[in-house]
Amino acid sequence: MDDLEHISHHVHNKISSLQRMLDLSASELPQHKVKKLGQELFVLSGLLDEFEKCVDQQKEQLKHLKKLDNSIRMDLARVQHMKDNMPIHIPRKKAPVRGKEPAVSQSEAAAVEPAQTKSLQKTSTCFIREMKFITMPEFESIPQYMKGRVSYEQLNAVVDGFNSAVTAKYRILSQPLKTLNNHSRRLQQRFRDQETKDTKGHFFVVEEDIQEFTQMKVDKRFQGILNMLRHCQRLRQLRGGGLVRYVLL
C-alpha cells in the first residue's frame, strides 16, 4: 500500500509538470524544452507501467485474502457446529478410585482374566470398568423392531447412566468402612450381600443401584433398551436371589 501511494504521488507530480509545460506551449518552445517534454513523457509512461504491475499484484493478494477469509469462515462454522452438537457420550479419561496410579483403559481391563482379578472388597485401590458407548454402525445393526423409537443419543444416555451407577457403587465398595457414613455403610453391605460366585471379578449393578445413583426410570422403555444393549454385547443378566444383576461385558 505504501508503494502504491508513493507511485501515485510521483505520477501526480509528473502530470502536474507536464500540464505546466503544455500550458506554456501556446508560445513556441525552444528545442531543449521540447526534448525535456519528451523525456518527461517517457518517464511518466514507465511509472504508469509500474503502477499497473503494483495494481495487478494487489489484485492477486486480495484474491488470496478472500480465499483465506472464506476458508477461515468455513472452519469457524464447522467448529461452531461441533460445539453446538457435542454428543453427551464422548468417552472420558478414567481415573483410579483411590490413590494416584494411572487409570487403565477399557481394553486393558477387559484383557484381565477374572481368575487373576483380586476381590474388589480387599483392594485399597481398584479401577472401575465402564460400558463402552454404542457406535453408529452398531446402532444401525440393531433390528428396527428392537429399536422402536429410541434414538442413538437416548441409547447412549442409558449407557452413560449405567456407567454413573457402576462408578458410584464401586467407589463406595473400595472405601474403608470407617470412612463411610451410616447410609454408605448400609449400601456397602448391601453390595457385598448381592455378590455371588458368578459375579466375582465382574462389575454389575441392580435396579436398586440405578434408582439410587441415577435419574433413569426402570420402566418398559428401559427394558427395551436393555435388549438393545444385550444385542450389542454390552451387558448380560444374571438372576438369582430375587435379583436381576446387570453385568458389564
Residue-level pLDDT, tens digit, the chain, 249 residues: 566 677 677 677 767 776 766 665 555 556 666 666 667 777 777 777 877 888 888 888 888 899 899 999 999 888 888 888 776 655 555 444 444 344 444 444 444 444 444 444 444 456 788 899 999 999 999 999 998 899 999 999 999 999 999 999 999 999 998 899 999 999 999 999 999 999 988 999 999 999 999 999 888 899 999 999 999 999 999 998 889 999 998
How many helices (H) and strands (E) the chain has is answered by 9, 3
List of residues 6+ apart from 124 with CB closer than 8 A = 98, 99, 174, 176
Q: Give the whole-angstrom CA distance, residue 48 versus residue 54.
A: 10
Q: Give the whole-angstrom CA distance, residue 101 versus residue 6.
A: 67
Instruction: Render the burial of 122-138: b for 16+ CB within 10 Å, e for the rest.
Output: eeeebbbbbbbbbeeeb
- CATH level 3 topology of 106-248: Arc Repressor Mutant, subunit A (1.10.10)
What pLDDT is stored for residue 109 in this prediction? 43
What pLDDT is stored for residue 9 in this prediction? 74
Q: Give the whole-angstrom CA distance, residue 164 versus residue 124.
A: 21
What pLDDT is stored for residue 134 in this prediction? 92
